A and B are shown apart, each in its own frame.
Chain A
Amino acid sequence: MSWIDVSCILAVFLALSLLATHRIVGMIKIFALQSFFLSLVPLFMSAGAISGRTLTLSLVTMAFKAVLAPSILFWTIRHISMRSEVKPILGFGTSILCGSVLIAVAFWISLSLRLPGKLVPSLILPCSLATMLLGFMTMVTRTRAITQVLGYMVIENGIFLFALSLLDAMPVFIEMGILLDIFVAVFVMAIVLNHINEEFERTRGSSSRPKWGESN
């Protein structure tokens, strides 16, 4: 079993444990860990000699996804002073059960998809699909805005994992563009969250606020 497969399986497990975590700080930590493992995958893929390109990709991914994005999220929750439990629509047991069904579905789908040519047949495809589906599930079943952002990030991680299997088709600057975009997306979302919180503080108690307070 190669290191790539180990990282892929870890990514899926972490996505699943994200579903089972109820503290937001814990969720962000799990997400950071997942991103860290994913950023190692390009290094494992180039067997033997590590080219400068894979090294850059791996380091930049690590910087953006495992360090910067989680710290922005930490900054956000510190600002809006929220540590509280997340109220999921589904209970934790049920979500784990659904999550494992989703993983099974992902593996079943990827059985019927055959990668053409000399692309590495490994666990990358089913694991990336599973991570994406779990991310969607996190997004749908959690009601807080910040957990939705986390779900979105998990989806992006799944897509990133998939993208790694076709390193040769994309030039580096496009990859960097994609990474930067995702990072900025989280940044913008954090800012909007902050604005929402300020507005919430300002209009607290007044009747003008619509019944859409779940994001705090």
Chain B
Amino acid sequence: MGALVVWLPAKAMFRLWLLWAMSLGHALVVASFWLRRPVPEWQGYLVLDPLGLILLSVVSLLFLFVSFFMIGYFQHEHSGNRTFTSCLFCLLSMMTLVSVSYHMGLLWVAIETTTLFSAPLISFHRNWETLEATWKYLLVCSVGIALALMGTFFLAIAAHDAHTLLLPAILNGASSLSLNWLKLSVIFLFVGYGCKMGLAPMHSWKPKAYGHATGMVTVLMAGGLTQCSFLALIRVSQICYKSGLSDFYASILIFTGILSLVVPAIFLLGEKNIKRSFAFSSVEHMGLLVLGLGLGGVGIFGALFHMINNALAKVVMFLTAGSMAQKYGSSNAHEVRGVIHIYPVTCVFLLLGLLAGTGMFPFATFHSELLIINAAIITKHYTLAGIIILCLAVIFIGIARLVLEFVYGKPTEPVLAKKENLFINITIASAAVMLLVLGLWMPAPLNRVLHEAVALIGA
């Protein structure tokens, strides 16, 4: 555990290889946690439970991919990467803190700090669009997170007998929580963290931020940051289950989840920018996660599995889109077309990203989406299952239309015909392979940890 604290003072190291080495080290440490779980530190403030372990592994994996990708990316990039890499370091340490914090206040601090460190990452290419995107992201997420803070305080009032916000203490005293305050707190926490996660009514920052940030940043945000907030929502659901509010919470989750499927399905049909369309796809995946959590049972298993798959799919989708945007200097459909004639490998990845991102067989996303739909059917929400399937189909059509136009459309010349980059291709290919393997075969340790995590949530 001590190794994790070492990441905190890391800053101002602007060598990409160093970043990669650090990510590799982080990944190795996390891998060792799979063999032997670390003991609680700081009087129980930092605990790594199976839920945290899943998130931590996802984050670590993402950083490994992204740092390797960056080595290739920055060969064609002339702007400095000093702030960029130091922000990445801080982001890594904060996301680690999110996954191990067992105190609702500390969790809030960590999540808020991730927002702050990711904001400079969005405005990496400093121009009007990225600055506007950063501003929107900062403002919407800060206000959302402020609401979550209010929710945390309401939780403290509800649990004022326990005199602490440590998770085990709240869970043990769950029967004595004051229900009215808890309900209020759940609503505030949900809106706050949901804002950060980009669930449907609060998703307005997403298309802008994802559309204008570079590929690496979007991967970390879509696969890492949003799922950090999802962990916070899972913690809330743990509390709700123990205190008998799970029906109330589940109804919120299911309603928002459905909304997060319907809204992107509508908007995707008219979208012309590939990064923006992937951003809507991210809203959809967040909706699926929340739906799985709300439906309970096998749905939770599906949602947790989907956390991993979603992150891997995002690596394939956004890194491909990012490398393409770098080659063409744009990601709009009318400027980039017929990529297959110039960059066949990138194109293959784009098609893979389409299949993985929309949950097609044999990728693991198919598996987890099926589990979530299954949960809807088991709990006799037949209309719900119908709506999910319909929305997924519409979203598939929406993204496929755009991607196919990119791939097979009448070719346009890229501004600077750059070569394919080995680093970039290796990264994307390995993510795709992992997703494929997970889709066909579930490793036993993963299965065990997922089951342990489901048992923790309880429902």
Q: Which of B133-141, B317-325, B397-405, B432-440 lies on the face that meets chain A?
A: B133-141
Residues of chain B within 8 A (CB-CB) of A189 are 138-139, 142
Q: Which residues of B contact A (CB under 8 A)?
A: 103, 105-106, 108-109, 112-113, 115-116, 119-120, 123, 126-129, 131-132, 134-135, 138-139, 142-143, 146, 149-150, 153, 156-165, 178, 180-181, 184
Are the CB atoms of A159 and B150 closer together than 8 Å? yes
A212 to B143, alpha carbons, bound, how many Å?
21
Q: CB < 8 Å: which of B105, B112, B161, B184 contacts A170?
A: B105
Q: CB < 8 Å: which of B138, B143, B157, B162 contacts A115?
A: B157
B215 → A minimal CB distance (Å): 21
Docked complex: A165-195 residues within 8 A CB-CB of B: 166, 168-171, 174, 177-178, 181, 184-185, 188-189, 191-192, 195
Beyond the given A116-B157, A170-B156, A174-B106, please list 17 additional residue pairs across the A-B interface where CB-CB is below 8 A: A119-B160, A148-B139, A152-B142, A152-B146, A155-B146, A181-B112, A185-B112, A185-B115, A188-B119, A191-B120, A199-B126, A203-B128, A208-B128, A210-B128, A210-B132, A212-B128, A212-B132
A135 → B minimal CB distance (Å): 9
B63 → A minimal CB distance (Å): 22
Q: CB < 8 Å: which of B149, B160, B164 contacts A178?
A: B149
Are the CB atoms of A145 and B135 closer together than 8 Å? yes
A196 to B136, alpha carbons, bound, how many Å?
12
B363 → A minimal CB distance (Å): 37
Interface of B (DSSP majority class)? helix
Are the CB atoms of B123 and A192 closer together than 8 Å? yes
4 shortest A-B CB distances, which residue pairs?
Answer: A177-B109, A169-B156, A174-B105, A181-B112
Residues of chain B within 8 A (CB-CB) of A114 are 180
Q: Is A117 an interface residue (CB 8 A)?
A: yes
Are the CB atoms of A159 and B149 closer together than 8 Å? yes
B397 → A minimal CB distance (Å): 30
A171 to B180, alpha carbons, bound, how many Å?
24
A192 to B113, alpha carbons, bound, how many Å?
16
Are the CB atoms of A192 and B131 closer together than 8 Å? yes
Residue of A nearest to B176 (CB): A116
Are the CB atoms of B126 and A195 closer together than 8 Å? yes
Between-chain CB contacts (< 8 Å), 17 pairs: A113-B184, A116-B158, A132-B150, A159-B146, A166-B156, A169-B156, A170-B105, A170-B156, A174-B103, A174-B106, A188-B116, A192-B119, A192-B131, A192-B134, A192-B138, A212-B128, A212-B132
Are the CB atoms of B153 and A159 closer together than 8 Å? yes
A168 to B162, alpha carbons, bound, how many Å?
10
B89 → A minimal CB distance (Å): 16
Residues of chain A within 8 A (CB-CB) of B127 are 199
A152 → B minimal CB distance (Å): 6
Residues of chain A within 8 A (CB-CB) of B106 are 174, 177
Q: A116-B160, A168-B163 are in contact. Are A199 and B128 (CB under 8 A)?
A: yes
A178 to B107, alpha carbons, bound, how many Å?
11
A171 → B minimal CB distance (Å): 8
A155 → B minimal CB distance (Å): 6
Residue of A nearest to B107 (CB): A174
Q: CB < 8 Å: which of B105, B131, B138, B164 contacts A188?
A: B138
Residues of chain A within 8 A (CB-CB) of B180 are 113-114
Q: A188-B116, A188-B119 are in contact. Are A169 and B149 (CB under 8 A)?
A: no
A117 to B156, alpha carbons, bound, how many Å?
12
Most central of A178, A185, A196 by chain B CB within 10 Å: A185
Are the CB atoms of A192 and B156 closer together than 8 Å? no
A195 to B128, alpha carbons, bound, how many Å?
9
Residues of chain B within 8 A (CB-CB) of A184 are 113, 116
Residues of chain B within 8 A (CB-CB) of A210 are 128-129, 132
Residues of chain B within 8 A (CB-CB) of A170 are 105, 156, 165
A47 to B34, alpha carbons, bound, how many Å?
51
A36 → B minimal CB distance (Å): 21
Residue of A nearest to B112 (CB): A181
Most central of B105, B116, B129 by chain A CB within 10 Å: B105
Q: Is A14 an interface residue (CB 8 A)?
A: no
Q: CB < 8 Å: which of A155, A162, A178 contacts B105?
A: A178
Q: CB < 8 Å: which of B119, B126, B153 contacts A162?
A: B153
Residues of chain B within 8 A (CB-CB) of A162 are 150, 153
A170 to B155, alpha carbons, bound, how many Å?
11
A196 to B153, alpha carbons, bound, how many Å?
34
Q: Is A163 an interface residue (CB 8 A)?
A: yes
Q: Is A56 an interface residue (CB 8 A)?
A: no
Residues of chain B within 8 A (CB-CB) of A188 are 116, 119-120, 138
Question: 0/1 per residue, A112-156, Cβ < 8 Å to B?
Answer: 011111010000000000001000000100000100100010011
Question: 0/1 per residue, A1-28, Cβ < 8 Å to B?
Answer: 0000000000000000000000000000
A188 to B119, alpha carbons, bound, how many Å?
8
A119 to B160, alpha carbons, bound, how many Å?
9
Residue of A nearest to B109 (CB): A177
Q: Is A209 an interface residue (CB 8 A)?
A: yes
Residues of chain A within 8 A (CB-CB) of B143 are 139, 152, 155
Are the CB atoms of B109 and A181 closer together than 8 Å? yes
Residue of B nearest to A191 (CB): B120
A208 to B410, alpha carbons, bound, how many Å?
27
A152 to B116, alpha carbons, bound, how many Å?
15
A155 to B145, alpha carbons, bound, how many Å?
11
Residues of chain A within 8 A (CB-CB) of B119 are 188, 192
Are the CB atoms of B116 and A181 closer together than 8 Å? yes
Residues of chain B within 8 A (CB-CB) of A185 are 112, 115-116, 138, 142
